[in-house]
Chain A
Amino acid sequence: MILQTLYQQCLKNNVTFYDEFQVVDLLMVNGAAAGVVAIELATGELHVFHAKAVIFATGGHGRIWEITSNAYAFTGDGPAVVMRRGLPLEDMEFFQFHPTGIYKLGILITEGVRGEGGVLLNGKGERFMEKYAPKVKDLASRDVTSRAIYMEIRDGNGVNGQNYVYLDVRPESVNKYAAIDGRKNLDGTPYTVTGEQILAKLPDIVDFCRVYLGVDPITQPMPIQPTAHYAMGGIPTNKYGEVIADEKNTAVPGLYAAGECACVSVHGANRLGTNSLLDLVVFGKHAGLRAAEFVKEAAFQPLPADPAEFARARFDRIRTADGKENAFDIAVTMKKVMFDDMGIFRSGKGMENALKVVRELQDRYKHVRPTDTGEVFNMELMNIWELGNLLDLAEVTTVSALARTESRGGHSREDYPDRDDKNWLKHSLAWAHEDGKIELKYKPVGITRFEPKVRTY
Chain B
Amino acid sequence: MKKVRVSTGILAMAVIALGATSCKDTKKEGSSADGVQSEHMDDNGHMGDGMEDHSQMDQDNINQGGMAMMSSEVVADYLTLKNALVSDDKDGAATAGEKLEGSLKDFDTSKFSDEQQAELTDIIEDATEHAEHIAKSDIGHQREHFDILSKDVIDLLAITGSERTLYQAYCPMYNNNKGAQWLSATEEIKNPYYGSKMMTCGSVQKQIN
Do these two chains really belong together in a complex?
A: no
Residues of chain A touching chain B, judged by Cβ–Cβ distance below 8 Å, are none
**B-to-A contact residues, CB < 8 Å:** none
